[in-house]
Amino acid sequence: MGSTTKNTNALDEIPEIRFFQLGLLDWILQRIGLLNKPNHGYLRRVFFVVLICWIPLFVLCLVEETALGGEVSVSFLQDWTTQIRLLIVIPLFLLADIFTGPQLNRTIRQFQTSGLVDGGDDPQVRKTIRQLDRATRSRVPELLFLTIVVLFIILGIRKEQALGTSSWMLAINGSDISPSAAGTWFSYVCIPVYQFILFNWIWGYLVWSYYLWRTSRLNLHLSAMHPDRAGGLGFLGIAQASFAPFILGFSVVYASLIAKEIILEGSTLLTFTFEVIVLVAFILLVFLLPLTVFSSKLARLRVENVRKHSAMASSAARTFESKWLEKSDDNQEALLGSSNIDAMANLSVTFANIKRIKLVPVDVTTMTSIAGTSIGPMLPLFLTVYTPAEIFDHLKSILL
């Protein structure tokens, strides 16, 4: 009873952690009057970033007559990689606090409400939560990211490559080729904004991974009998799958780059088969690796309970055999109606489940969700190999 009370008190002290907040962006929006409360105005953040990134590009391209075509082979609106990055990926990252953030906070609270955390570890829990809160509110990481982005600009690192000798990014004057006004804005404003938001996402993920590591050092009450076969930690898979906006954004950008190679450079989809496999494997590794911090506890749980239940099963089996199998056949009919045979069957099922305790608290559904989010943006690329009619015929032959 005392442990439950302590856990409830610790739960009351857990603040809402904003893993992906952008303090610098919020400060700018507050200064210009677009944001009143830091925890609100998600759509205003998206609108502001689109306002300073995409709209100036479109206006500059209209002035330079490269928005819809003109004399360039690749116009601004035909550059789907840029459109996807500015109009899909950045909004996905900015809206992560709506989707991913709440799931992570529910996971933190579930450690307390499920009784997994020992009441004696409440001081450590509170200390870890305070560290998370400071890490996500601190402006030091954002200043560091801003410095890195500025250094990238100064040193010419990660400049966007033009799509060809004739694109909206380039101004061609005879034999003289130089960045266009739109291309300059893209390189010195849009890309740095994208990088800054990306770095902030990575920082939020590292802070979350740190929480998992700190929690794995606590005295956790894991149950070998739990049906999730992860000692009661199976809910962590939901938290990792909630990073879908980041996974989707990354995969969409990669798929657009492949599409550009296929359409503009004449490559084939099969050329990228190995790269896609490596990409999916890499994403699975990145988002499942933090869960391995619980592997030692789960391995210990499995070994200790296999030994314990093995000894129990041996004793029960000997008792069962001596009572029912080593006597005359007169007991066979009584055996069929005895509860002992049900107890042995239940013990057998329990022992089999304990031997199948997972060393990483993740199930097939979570892995499928992460892999599916990674592969999903690649599926439209099959249209570069097959026509819709051919795809329909293939599906019909499989399903019917």
Quick: pLDDT tens for 269-288: 888 888 889 999 999 999 99
Amino acid occupying residue 158: R
Q: Is the dihedral of CA 5, 118, 206, 145 positive or negative?
A: positive
Give the end of a domain, one of 221, 239, 268: 221
Same-domain check for residues 108 and 143 = yes
| Helical packing angle, 191-216 and 122-137, nearest 10° | 170
Give the separation between CA 172 and CA 167, rounded to whole angstroms.
Answer: 9
Residue 231 included in any domain? no
- Residue 227, domain member (yes or no): no
Q: Are 166 and 286 members of one domain?
A: no
Reported in sequence order, the residue ranges of the chain that DSSP labels E, i.e. its strands, are 170-173, 176-179
Q: Give residue 66's domain range.
A: 9-221
Q: What is the model's pLDDT at position 352? A: 76
Low-confidence ranges of the chain (pLDDT < 70): 1-13, 34-41, 157-165, 171-177, 313, 316-347, 386-388, 390-391, 394-400
Residue 220 φ then ψ, to 5°: -85, 140
Number of domains in the chain: 2
Do 152 and 32 share a structural domain?
Answer: yes
Which of 184, 205, 221 is the last residue before a domain boundary? Answer: 221
Say if residue 14 is in the same domain as residue 115.
yes
Residue 1 pLDDT = 43
54, part of any domain: yes
- Residue 395 has a pLDDT of 64
At residue 162, the pLDDT reads 47
Residue type, 76: F
User: Which pLDDT value is given to residue 266?
Assistant: 76
Determine phi and psi for 65, rounding to 5 degrees. 60, 40
Question: Tell me, what DSSP letter sits at residue 270?
Answer: G
The pLDDT of residue 157 is: 63
Q: Return the ∠ at Cα 323 (arms to 322 and 324), rounded to 5°.
A: 100
The whole-number pLDDT of residue 206 equals 95
Domain presence at residue 241: no
Look at the alpha carbons of 345, 346, 349, 351 in this order and tell me if their dihedral is positive or negative: negative
Residue 120 lies in a domain: yes
* Shared domain check, 153 and 265: no
Q: What is the DSSP string of 144-189?
A: HHHHHHHHHHHHTTTPPPPSSSSBTTEEEETTEEEE-HHHHHIIII
Q: What pLDDT score does 2 carry?
A: 47
Residues 182 and 301 in one domain: no
- pLDDT given at position 329: 56
Q: Are 128 and 40 in contact (CB under 8 A)?
A: no
Cα 65 from Cα 324, distance rounded (Å): 93
Q: Based on the domain organization, do 76 and 217 belong to the same domain?
A: yes
Q: Are 205 and 259 in a shared domain?
A: no
pLDDT digits (tens, 9 = 90+) for 220-259: 999 888 888 888 999 999 999 999 989 999 899 898 888 8
Residue where the block lists tokens 């490596």: 278
